[in-house]
Amino acid sequence: MKIDHIGIAVAKLDAVVPIYEQLGMELELVEEVVSQGVRVAMFPAGESRVELLEPLNEESPIAKFLARRGSGVHHIAFRVSDLAAELERLKARGVRLVDEEPRKGAHGALIAFLHPASTGGVLVELCQQEAS
């Protein structure tokens, strides 16, 4: 298992993307994931990425996070080879799941979240990259 990305909630991508570019990071992509109510900017960082998340509307989970906690680290994502099998394995071990089934995420990945109550207070995302 490797770290796929670290998700950071931000109010406005346009205000934060230049900060990461000043750090020497190169913007890989910007896309909207309407099903999750977010606009995403991805920056490669070694084998991982930094994912900036801007809410598309007030109902977005990111908008709710920003209202409660402000900008900052939202989640850590680990790459798995078989997401459905991993969810079944974790569920059998009593891990509380936010997502019982994989769903589409940014960059064509399948994703699922684990509840922070089962992961030491950290929102954990598991992701499986779509086969090329």
CATH of the domain at 101: 3.10.180.10
| pTM over cut 0.75 | yes
Lowest mean pLDDT among 15-24, 75-84, 100-109: 100-109
Q: What is the pLDDT of residues 66-76, one digit of tens each?
A: 999 999 999 99
Mean pLDDT of the chain: 94
Distance, CA of 3 to CA of 18 (rounded, Å): 24
Q: Half-sphere exposure of 33 toward its Cβ, with a 13 Å CA cutoff?
A: 24
Distance, CA of 53 to CA of 51 (rounded, Å): 6
Q: What is the pLDDT of residues 83-115, one digit of tens each?
A: 999 999 999 999 999 999 999 988 889 999 999
Q: What total number of domains does the chain contain?
A: 1
Instruction: Specify whether the CB–CB gap between 87 and 126 falls below 8 A.
Output: yes
Both tokens of residue 116? 């922070």
Domain interval for residue 114: 2-128
Nearest-CA neighbor of 33 among 3, 67, 62?
A: 62
pLDDT recorded at residue 131: 57
